[in-house]
């Protein structure tokens, strides 16, 4: 077999192993090792490549950004910052038809600017927003759909764990990726809000249990002092993390440290953190960090195996011979990413696709920061699409037996938001300046 045949065969075998339940990192490492062994016909070379990748992949201090932002996300969840963001947003949008849905999107956008983890957003707002929406006569399908749809903002609005992973894999500035994600993230949040308001006016039966919406119960307005008390920690967190990066005071790694410290202080001041729960936070942070680091190591091995096989160059030559240009490449790439999102998780898609596609994108002279934003949006669509739809399963698990709703209904509830994401993705492809405007 030729080297290219071995590499392409490894792709198919990888998907089979992952879908069969094998851990992504183990799959990448094992298949890459065997691939190099077959290409060079020498197990010693494969073993040396494996050892070198392990020592080189995460040696830089910049990888400290991963545990720091993960720690920040867990601490913020314990400090009830997501709950506060929802309550403040609810006050702001209480007079708008579909206001609780818009408030959920707004609160998710704020929460995303602190944590950067979609799954955390899905879990938090399932507990906070869904009961409120059901209480005021919203359709269960819509209530869980808006939570699932807006949870994807966690991977687009910085800081984003997925953008950090993309930055490592593509050797691009994490700070620039964060900056490039701001406008698309806000655009997506606004688009979600507009869709909810339009649905509430044009198709109220999709939102409310009764086709004619009933007025919300009149609740006492939140006192100004209480609103300030809830807003101040949010402003401090966002200002310390993002403000410091964009003002040039510190790097993305240093911003993660500052964010973790601020989140810890807020959790302690609010008395939301005990020694036992803090140990649990540290343990979970360690689990996630080790998992991400192992993924990066094995992705590095896989990248080297593909480069050794010459597959990216062969694919570029094939595309040139077929007369396919930049537009065709982007459409094929986005379609494959979205389809992969129906069967595997976000990080796995990046680890499989980027080593193969980044060299081609560079040959086409594409801006890799913009390419990263497009990739993240396309990958996040997979969080909402069956049969995998990780956010859907997180919401179903979080609901437990409190709400009687099937997985199919949750997927159907997310459909308007999936379509909205596809429209925003098309805009990002057509107008790259949407992503790059703040970098100029």
pLDDT band at 432 (very low <50, low <70, confident <90, very high): very high
Q: What is the pLDDT of residues 98-125, one digit of tens each?
A: 888 899 999 888 887 777 677 777 877 8
Kindly list the distances between the CA atom of residue 229 and the CA atoms of 114, 125, 224, in Å, as whole numbers in the listed order: 17, 20, 9
Identify the pLDDT of residue 370.
Answer: 95
Q: What is the pLDDT of residues 56-97, one digit of tens each?
A: 666 666 667 778 888 887 888 788 887 888 888 888 887 888
- Express as a percent the part of the chain with pLDDT over 90: 14
Model-level pTM?
0.80
CB atoms near residue 87 (< 10 Å): 18
Burial 27-54 (b: 16+ CB within 10 A, else e): bbbbbbbbbbbbbeeeeeebeebbeebb
Tallying the residues shown for the chain, one arrives at: 440
| Cα distance between residue 21 and residue 32, in whole Å | 18
Cis peptide before 159 (omega within 30 of 0): yes
Identify the pLDDT of residue 419.
Answer: 93
């Amino acid at each position: 077999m030729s080297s290219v045949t071995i590499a392409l065969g490894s792709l198919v075998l990888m998907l089979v192993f992952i879908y069969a339940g094998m851990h992504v990192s183990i799959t990448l490492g094992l298949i890459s090792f065997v691939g190099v062994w077959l290409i060079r016909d020498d197990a010693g070379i494969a073993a040396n490549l494996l050892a070198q990748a392990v020592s080189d992949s995460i040696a830089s201090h910049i990888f400290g950004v991963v545990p720091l932002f993960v720690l920040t996300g867990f601490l913020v969840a314990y400090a009830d910052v997501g709950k506060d963001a929802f309550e403040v947003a609810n006050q702001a949008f209480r007079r708008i038809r579909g206001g609780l849905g818009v408030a959920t999107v707004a609160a998710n956008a704020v929460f995303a600017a602190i944590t950067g983890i979609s799954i955390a957003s899905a879990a938090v707002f399932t507990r906070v927003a869904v009961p409120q929406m059901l209480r005021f006569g919203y359709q269960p399908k819509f209530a869980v759909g808006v939570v699932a749809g807006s949870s994807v903002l966690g991977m687009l609005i910085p800081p984003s764990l997925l953008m950090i992973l993309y930055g490592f894999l593509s050797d691009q500035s994490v700070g620039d990726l964060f900056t490039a994600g701001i406008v698309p993230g806000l655009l997506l949040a606004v688009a979600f809000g507009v869709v909810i308001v339009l649905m509430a006016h044009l198709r109220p039966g999709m939102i409310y249990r009764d086709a004619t919406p009933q007025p919300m119960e009149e609740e006492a307005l939140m006192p100004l002092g209480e609103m300030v008390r809830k807003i101040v920690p949010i402003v401090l967190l966002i200002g310390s993390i993002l403000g410091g990066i964009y003002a040039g005071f510190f790097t993305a790694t240093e911003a993660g440290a500052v964010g973790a410290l601020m989140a810890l202080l807020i959790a302690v001041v609010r008395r939301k953190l005990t020694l036992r729960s803090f140990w649990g936070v540290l343990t979970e942070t360690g689990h996630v960090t080790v998992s991400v680091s192992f993924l990066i190591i094995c992705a590095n091995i896989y990248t080297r195996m593909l480069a050794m096989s010459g597959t990216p160059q062969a694919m570029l030559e094939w595309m040139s011979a077929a007369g396919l240009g930049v537009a065709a490449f982007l459409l094929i790439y986005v379609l494959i990413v979205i389809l992969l999102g129906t069967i595997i998780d976000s990080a796995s898609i990046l680890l499989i696709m980027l080593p193969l596609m980044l060299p081609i994108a560079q040959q086409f002279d594409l801006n890799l920061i913009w390419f990263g934003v497009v990739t993240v949006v396309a990958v996040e669509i997979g969080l909402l699409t069956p049969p995998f739809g990780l956010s859907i399963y997180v919401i179903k698990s979080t609901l437990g037996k409190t709400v009687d709703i099937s997985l199919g209904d949750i997927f159907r509830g997310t459909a308007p938001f999936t379509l909205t994401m596809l429209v925003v993705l098309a805009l990002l492809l057509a107008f790259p300046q949407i992503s790059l405007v703040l970098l100029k």
